[in-house]
Amino acid sequence: MILPEHQNNASSGFKFTRALSNPVCLCLLLVAVTLAVYWPVTRCDFVNYDDPDYFSSNAHVQAGLTSDNVVWAFCTGYASNWHPLTWLSLMLDRELSGPGPAGPHFTNLLFHLANTVLLFLLLRQMTSLRPDTDIGALASAKPPAQPGSSTQAAVNWRSAFVAALFALHPLHVESVAWISERKDVLSTFFGLLALWAYARFVQKSAVRSQKSEVENQVSGLRPPTSGYYWLALLFFALGLMSKPMLVTLPLVMLLLDWWPLGRVSRVEGRVPNAPAPASQLLTFNRLVLEKIPFFVLSAISCVVTFIAQQKGGAVTKLAGISMTGRVANAFVSYARYLDKTLWPSPLANPYPHPGHWGFPLVIYSVALVAGLSAIAVLFARRFPFFFTGWFWFVGTLVPVIGLVQVGIQSMADRYTYVPLIGLFIIFVWGLAETGMSRQVPKTLIAVLIAMVLVVSALRTRNQLSYWQNNETLFRHTLAVTENNYLAYNNLGTWLSKRGQIAEAMDCFRKSLQINPDNSDVLYNLGNAFAKLGNWDEAINNYQRALQITPNQPDVLDNLGFALAAKKQFAAAVVCFEAALKLNPDYADAHNNLATVLFIQKNYKEAGRHFREALRITPGNPQIYSNLGDALVKQGETTEAVRCYQEALWLKPGDPQIRAKLQALGAQISN
């Protein structure tokens, strides 16, 4: 029988949709679209907000993967964090792609692509355990969905839509476009792998009968023997060694036990032979005890992180922002994150903390968060995906919600990288549930989600343009925020390096008007005066910076340089020595101290400090030339020649070095 033409077209369309829902096709589609949207990030420059500490000016990272640097990565609390795997990944970037920004930007993008695919595969795996893709016991007698079934196709599409929202939402631009946020994409990579291994552990454990499951609960607990359990623990540890924000992952596992893994007996009419309430409590206790090793790792990570951030000065003093103010900011931040998820504009880096929020806004935010939490609990049985998604969002934000204030920001786009997954699950599964209950055509739902994804992609591409360089980023930030002294400072620093001193100083002064006691801004203003040769004003600003925040090696070094420029050599030596006491591997301070000692005719000590500077930065031609000068004064002409030759090899054609070498050669020949 020959089918009518419209039936042939419908059949062809069905086959195409079925083919496209293949997981391999969906993975490739997710990668292709994300790569197309994010590709401009590979052409972005460094930003002077954390990137110098993490990559561009970090001597250990720039030296690459050496045994000493590996030890440093595991032992340091530099940048107010302990995340050795993040340091190692950045060192590997330096080894593979050089000192420029393209390599680490591309690596961040690769991790974002990997996280997108992992999220899709994880959701597909967990929600494919039952044919209805909804709740129910793993021990259910229903057969699993077949790979080619329409149910499995629905599972694939739902999982893919969540992954696509994760890939393309503008709030995630900061985590990908900012090299310093390698810790974000790297920790999420390991976190998703940990959840994948955990889901596999659950799947393998589900082969036991419900009877033996109850017997296990009553007779006592035995340590898990599945390799997937210990693999999940390993991935979790690696994630914590990339960024400690992952500490809430054990709570996420408990949420997944509720939905979609269905490990808690709780849903009326869905669980055959459901245990009695007492057994339900035992079941929950068992699930908690099962995760004790994960909670132990989280506790250790919290302690280590707090110590590192406190020593690094990242934790704001309790007197700075009251506990009431921090709690209020936490609720307001939840509301603002929800707002920016639905309407991601304007976005900025950073969002300055106002100190306190208006009472009406705080009351609204508390009511919103409490109300949505109550709805999630009340409808936990009917809409378990809402319960899991909402408390995934709320719970994973807890470490960065501001109860322990770290940094100056009230909130940050990068903090949503993992939490938004919960909201995306609610949106996609909720839309699908609404469509089924209201009999909304699937095509209409697909068109709606496609429109959301297209708008997200366009907004993400626009947001990426602001990360092109320091000027585009911080001018945009100043345009969309108020009283942002850090943005003024960072823009001023960039302008100063470009020689736009007058505009830079204007930025620094505006920053100081907002926050007069910021030592970083005073230091940068001092540097601007130093570039103009106004040494008195430079010294004044350096000294003010040290009064506010003592023991800053950079400030001490530049103060010493300014004092030396005014020929106050004894005071300059004191500053350089103080800087080196704080940071013995400070090459610039060694070089500056050696230069002053050379002027004071202490050639032996000068040579020693020049050698130390070369040990730290072995490819610096100017320091080789300086060491040559010190050696000539000590009569060590043969070694001096080698230093000049090395300097000339590193900087071919330099007239001063060539003249020194020729003069020394003539002296030796005579």
pLDDT 10s digits, 568-600:
999 999 999 999 999 998 999 999 999 999 999
Across 14-23, 213-222, 434-443, least confident range: 213-222
Higher pLDDT, 434 or 72: 72
Does the pLDDT at position 650 exceed 60?
yes
pTM of the entire structure?
Answer: 0.88
Does the pLDDT at position 458 exceed 50?
yes
User: What pLDDT is recorded for position 27?
Assistant: 96
- In contact, 173 and 181? CB cutoff 8 Å: no
Instruction: pLDDT band for 3, please (50, 70, 90 cuts).
Output: very low
Percent of the chain with pLDDT strictly greater than 70: 86
**What span, in angstroms and rounded, lies between the C-alpha atoms of 195 and 124?**
12
User: What pLDDT is recorded for position 617?
Assistant: 85
User: What pLDDT is recorded for position 135?
Assistant: 31
Does the pLDDT at position 141 exceed 80?
no
Higher pLDDT, 212 or 519: 519
User: What pLDDT is recorded for position 582?
Assistant: 93
Angle at CA of residue 492, ends 400 and 543, nearest 5°: 90
Residue range 366-416, pLDDT digits in tens:
999 999 999 999 999 999 999 999 999 999 999 999 887 666 789 999 999
DSSP string, 8-60: HHHHHHHHHHHHHTSHHHHHHHHHHHHHHHHGGGGG----TTTHIIIIIT-HH
Higher pLDDT, 434 or 74: 74
Residue range 77-110, pLDDT digits in tens:
988 899 999 999 999 999 999 999 999 999 999 9
Which whole number is the average pLDDT over 450-457? 96
User: What pLDDT is recorded for position 223?
Assistant: 60
Cβ neighbours of residue 53 closer than 8 Å, sequence gap 6 or more: 78, 79, 180
- In contact, 38 and 464? CB cutoff 8 Å: yes
The DSSP letter of residue 409 is: E
Of the candidates 556, 551, 586, which has an alpha carbon nearest to the alpha carbon of residue 571?
Answer: 556
**What span, in angstroms and rounded, lies between the C-alpha atoms of 581 and 576?**
9
Which residue segments constitute the domains of the chain, with CATH numbers given?
A: 17-138+145-266+282-465 (no CATH), 483-584 (1.25.40.10), 587-670 (1.25.40.10)
Dig out the tokens for 304 from the structure: 């280590």
- In contact, 459 and 168? CB cutoff 8 Å: no
Across 75-89, 207-221, 438-452, least confident range: 207-221
Amino acid (1-letter code) at residue 199: A
Does the pLDDT at position 279 exceed 80?
no
Paired strand residues for 351: 411
Cβ neighbours of residue 344 closer than 8 Å, sequence gap 6 or more: 169, 170, 171, 456, 459, 463
Instruction: pLDDT band for 444, please (50, 70, 90 cuts).
Output: confident
